[in-house]
C-alpha cells in the first residue's frame, strides 16, 4: 500500500528541491533600443515607463547633427518599435538628463546657448517642457557666474534640485558648492538655497536626487552641516533635505545627516530614492550595521520615513566590491544593480535583482547571462520596474552592436533569471527544505531497498 507510492515520493522530494532552489532557468529578454555608429548612453526613464531620455553622439535621425552629445527622447510605448525625437541639435554637449514621471518635463546640463542666455558657453542647468517633443520649450536656470552644475527634475516635473557653486540667490558669495531647489510654480522667487557652507573650503556636495513631489532631496556631502560638529572629519555623508514650499516665499528646508561616518575614509555614493522620499538605496564602504567589517562597497537601504531616526539594513554582504550604485522601485520591494562580484554573478558584469520585501533576508536573482567581459552601466527604470534600461558598449545581442560603442538596451525582469543566495549559505527556510527533501529521499531509498530485499 505504502510501497507503491515510493516513486512518487522520490519525485515529489526532487521537485521540492528544484522548486525551492531554482528560479526560471532562463535569462531575461533584452531589447536593443538604439543602433548607432557613435555612442548613446545615460538613460533616464519616465516613471510611467513610456519613454527614455538619453544623450547620443550618433546621428540617429539622419539629420546631419555634429558628432557631439545631443538629447534624444525615445517613446517606447511599444518597446519593440521605439519612436525617436531629437530634442537638441547644438555643437556643444548636453549631459546629465533626468525626466518626470509623465515624460513631459526634463532637466539636464549643457554648455550650449539654447535660449540666448549662454553666449559664453558655460556649463548651465536647463529645464524643458517636452510635452511636444517636436518643439521642446527650454528654460535656462543658471548663468549668473560660471560654475559646473548638475541636477535632477522631480517626478511631478515641477521642481529641480541643483548642485552648483554659483551664487543663485545672493546667499553664496563665497562660491562654495551648495544645493538649491528650483520651483517652477513660484514665479516670484523660484530658487531656494537649501545648504549654507560658509566657506569655499573644497568640501564636496554631489549631484542631488529628488522624490516625486520635490518634498525630499538626498545628496552626499563632506561638509559639516547639521548640527555643526557632526562631521568634522569630512566623511562623505548621506544627507536628506525635507523641503517646504510657501510661494511666493522661497522654498526652505530642514537638513538631516543620515549617516555618521567616523572619518573621511568613509563615503556614501550613488543614492536612489523612492517616489515618496522615504526609502533610499545607496552604496558605502562603512560598517553601518555591523555586517560590513571588510570595508568594501556594499548596498544599503535606509528607511528615512522619520529622517531624525533613520533605520539601516545592509542588502548585499560580500567580501568583495559589490556596486557603487543601484536602483529601487516605488514601494521598495525590489532593487537592481550591476555587479561583477562572483558572489552574485556567473562572471563578468551582470544585472541583479533583489527582492527586499524582507530587507534582513533579501532574495537575489541574476537577470542576465552576458558573456564574460561585457560592460554595463547606468541602470534606470520606471517606478514599477516593468523594465530596466541600461547602456553597454558590448555586442549583447550578437550582431546588434559589432562596432562596440555605447547603446541603450532594456530588459524585462518578468519571470526570468537565476535564483542565487546572498552568501551561498542557505537561509533557514532553505535549510528546512533541504532537510525535508533529504528525509523524504532517505525514506524513499530505504523503502525501495526493503522492497528489493523482499522480492
- Binding interface with Ca ion (CB under 5 A): 70, 90, 172, 174, 176, 197, 292, 294, 296, 298, 401, 403, 405
| Cβ atoms of residues 245 and 236 within 8 Å | no
Beta carbon of residue 69, minimum distance to Ca ion (angstroms, whole number): 5
Give the CA-trace dihedral at 34, 35, 41, 46, to 10 degrees.
Answer: 0
Answer positive or negative: Cα dihedral of 26, 83, 89, 162.
negative
Q: How far apart are CA 20 and CA 441, in angstroms?
A: 15
Nearer to Ca ion, 158 or 195 (CB): 195
Nearer to Ca ion, 13 or 392 (CB): 392
**DSSP-based three-state secondary structure for 407:** strand
Beta carbon of residue 278, minimum distance to Ca ion (angstroms, whole number): 25
Beta carbon of residue 247, minimum distance to Ca ion (angstroms, whole number): 24
Alpha-carbon distances of 377 from 315, 392, 418, rounded to whole Å? 20, 6, 21
Nearer to Ca ion, 101 or 298 (CB): 298
Q: How far apart are CA 370 and CA 340, in angstroms?
A: 11
Q: 230: which 3 cell numbers?
A: 557632526
Beta carbon of residue 447, minimum distance to Ca ion (angstroms, whole number): 46
Nearer to Ca ion, 40 or 329 (CB): 40
Q: 164: which 3 cell numbers?
A: 552648483
Nearer to Ca ion, 207 or 292 (CB): 292
Q: Shortest CA distance to 24 belongs to which of 412, 441, 430, 443? A: 412
Nearer to Ca ion, 156 or 392 (CB): 392
Beta carbon of residue 64, minimum distance to Ca ion (angstroms, whole number): 13
Tell me which residue has cell 520596474: 385
Beta carbon of residue 306, minimum distance to Ca ion (angstroms, whole number): 27
Nearer to Ca ion, 172 or 374 (CB): 172
DSSP output for 274-343:
-TTS-EEEEEESS-SSSS-TT---EEEEEE-SSTTS-EEEE----SS---S--EE-TTSSEEEEEE--TT
Bridge partners (DSSP) of residue 192 are 181
Q: How far apart are CA 328 and CA 383, in angstroms?
A: 8
Beta carbon of residue 193, minimum distance to Ca ion (angstroms, whole number): 8
Amino acid at each position: 500500500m505504502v510501497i507503491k507510492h515510493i516513486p512518487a515520493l522520490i519525485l515529489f522530494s526532487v521537485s521540492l528541491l528544484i522548486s525551492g532552489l531554482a528560479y526560471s532557468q532562463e535569462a531575461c529578454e533584452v531589447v536593443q533600443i538604439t543602433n548607432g555608429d557613435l555612442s548613446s548612453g545615460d538613460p533616464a526613464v519616465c516613471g510611467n515607463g513610456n519613454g527614455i531620455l538619453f544623450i547620443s553622439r550618433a546621428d540617429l535621425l539622419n539629420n546631419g547633427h555634429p558628432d557631439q552629445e545631443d538629447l534624444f527622447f525615445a517613446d517606447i510605448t511599444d518597446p519593440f518599435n521605439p519612436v525617436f525625437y531629437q530634442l537638441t541639435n547644438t555643437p556643444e554637449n548636453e549631459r546629465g538628463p533626468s525626466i518626470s514621471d509623465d515624460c513631459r518635463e526634463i532637466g539636464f546640463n549643457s554648455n550650449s546657448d539654447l535660449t540666448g542666455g549662454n553666449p559664453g558657453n558655460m556649463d548651465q542647468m536647463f529645464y524643458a517642457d517636452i510635452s511636444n517633443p517636436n518643439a521642446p520649450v527650454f528654460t535656462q536656470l543658471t548663468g549668473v557666474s560660471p560654475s559646473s552644475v548638475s541636477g535632477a527634475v522631480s517626478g511631478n516635473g515641477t521642481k529641480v534640485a541643483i548642485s552648483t557653486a554659483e551664487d543663485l540667490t545672493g546667499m553664496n558669495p563665497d562660491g562654495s558648492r551648495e544645493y538649491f531647489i528650483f520651483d517652477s510654480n513660484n514665479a516670484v522667487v523660484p530658487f531656494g538655497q537649501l545648504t549654507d557652507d560658509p566657506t569655499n573650503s573644497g568640501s564636496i556636495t554631489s549631484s542631488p536626487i529628488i522624490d516625486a513631489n520635490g518634498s525630499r532631496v538626498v545628496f552626499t556631502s563632506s561638509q559639516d552641516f547639521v548640527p555643526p560638529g557632526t562631521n568634522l572629519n569630512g566623511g562623505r555623508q548621506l544627507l536628506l533635505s525635507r523641503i517646504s514650499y510657501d510661494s511666493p516665499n522661497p522654498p526652505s528646508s530642514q537638513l538631516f545627516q543620515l549617516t555618521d561616518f567616523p572619518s573621511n575614509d568613509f563615503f556614501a555614493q550613488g543614492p536612489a530614492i523612492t517616489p515618496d522620499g522615504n526609502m533610499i538605496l545607496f552604496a558605502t564602504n562603512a560598517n553601518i550595521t555591523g555586517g560590513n567589517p571588510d570595508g568594501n562597497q556594499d548596498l544599503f537601504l535606509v528607511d528615512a520615513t522619520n529622517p531624525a531616526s533613520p533605520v539601516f539594513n545592509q542588502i548585499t554582504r560580500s567580501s568583495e566590491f559589490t556596486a557603487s550604485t543601484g536602483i529601487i522601485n516605488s514601494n521598495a520591494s525590489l532593487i537592481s544593480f550591476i555587479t561583477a562580484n562572483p558572489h552574485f554573478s556567473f562572471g563578468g558584469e551582470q544585472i541583479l535583482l533583489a527582492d527586499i520585501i524582507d530587507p534582513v533576508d533579501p532574495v537575489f536573482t541574476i537577470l542576465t547571462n552576458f558573456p564574460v567581459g561585457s560592460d554595463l552601466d547606468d541602470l534606470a527604470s520606471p517606478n514599477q520596474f516593468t523594465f530596466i534600461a541600461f547602456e553597454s558598449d558590448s555586442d549583447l545581442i550578437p550582431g546588434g552592436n559589432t562596432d562596440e560603442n555605447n547603446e541603450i538596451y532594456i530588459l524585462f525582469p518578468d519571470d526570468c533569471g537565476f535564483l542565487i543566495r546572498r552568501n551561498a549559505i542557505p537561509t533557514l527556510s532553505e535549510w528546512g527544505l533541504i532537510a525535508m527533501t533529504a528525509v523524504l529521499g532517505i525514506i524513499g531509498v530505504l523503502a525501495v531497498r526493503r522492497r528489493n530485499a523482499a522480492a
